[in-house]
Amino acid sequence: MDKMQPIGVLDSGVGGLSVLKCLHQMLPYEDFIYVGDTARTPYGTRSEQEIRGFVGEIIDWLAAKNVKQVVIACNTLTMLGVDSLRGTHPFGVVGMSKGAQQLLAASPNKKIGVLATQFTIASGLHKKAILAADAQAQVYPVACPKFVPLIEGERFDSPELQQAIAEYTEPFKKAGVEAVILSCTHYPFIKEQIEADLGPNVKVLDPAAATSADAIAALKEEGLLRTEGKGRLQVCCTADLARVERLAGRMLPVDDCDFSLIDLKEN
């Protein structure tokens, strides 16, 4: 491994661009290669066997690009167990933070909401992590199957999105939840709408900063952190390149980005 090698970032679609935004802000000297599997998104409703096969293909593709680290910018993939993805390649793998400490710090009465995909909610791992940090916490997990298709479809101002937000936040309002974590990397695209729906007394958290901090710590430990230069962002997708470019414009400085359509079977 060499510190001049790029960092790989992967997701099932465009959601991980929210994590790439944070990584780029915190690591401006690093080069990044982002892969969004837009041809097969969403992953959250697929079987574990399918998902493992997809992520294996992406990691192999990134390995061929000589990356020094891979950040799994997808909660669904992180729920598979990042440990099971380590060791197959020479680089380290960093998964999404569950944000337990952030949530507890933001919720005086320990009433916490989790918004995520069906797969992530079914795993129960966010609730387990929060209760492990504080057994007195009350955790309200809500699966949001309508969000990813609406975000991927750029339906940001649609009545359907507003209706979905109202539907998924209703249990939080009834329970008096004080802090909510966006445990799908797509959801920061609609963070402002969720905040507006929940009101000023509810803190809506994005775990991207904690995830980026974990990536930085791992690079420092391995002596792979770059401290000078100007990093570039290579944004790759498996379908719908024009749409990905538009959505990237909501998160990234596009002048620093190179966009390309890729085939994961080719390197």
Domains of the chain: 7-96+209-261 (3.40.50.1860), 100-206 (3.40.50.1860)
Q: Tell me: is residue 76 an annotated ligand-binding position.
A: yes
pLDDT in tens, 165-220: 999 999 999 999 999 999 999 999 999 999 999 999 999 999 999 999 999 999 99
* Residue 44 is assigned to a ligand binding site: yes
Length of the chain: 267
pLDDT in tens, 120-172: 898 898 999 999 999 999 999 999 999 989 998 899 999 999 999 999 999 99
pTM of the predicted structure, to 2 decimals? 0.89
User: Does residue 186 have a known ligand-binding role?
Assistant: yes
Whole-number pLDDT of residue 78:
85
Q: How confident is the model at residue 47 (pLDDT cuts 50, 70, 90)?
A: confident
**Which whole number is the average pLDDT over 242-262?**
94
Tokens linked to 183 = 């445990």
Of 215, 238, 210, 228, which is closest to residue 67 (Cα–Cα)? 215
Annotated binding-site residue? 43: yes
pLDDT at 79: 78
What is the dihedral sign for C-alpha 234, 221, 85, 80?
A: negative
Residues annotated as catalytic (active site), given as ranges: 74, 184
- How confident is the model at residue 76, as a pLDDT? 80
Nearest to 205 by CA among 98, 121, 123, 124: 98
- Is 11 assigned a ligand-binding role in the annotation? yes
For residue 12, say whether it is annotated as part of any ligand binding site: yes
The answer to whether the CB of 81 falls within 8 A of the CB of 51 is no
Q: What is the pLDDT of residues 49-62, one digit of tens each?
A: 888 888 889 999 99
State the pLDDT confidence band at 16, using cuts at 50, 70 and 90: very high
Number of H helices, E strands in the chain: 11, 10
Kindly provide the b/e burial profile for residues 12-34, where b requires at least 16 CB atoms within 10 angstroms of the residue's own CB: bbbbbbbbbbbbbeebeebbbbb
**Mean per-residue pLDDT, 76-103:** 82
Are β-strands 7-11 and 138-143 bridged in parallel, bridged antiparallel, or unpaired?
unpaired
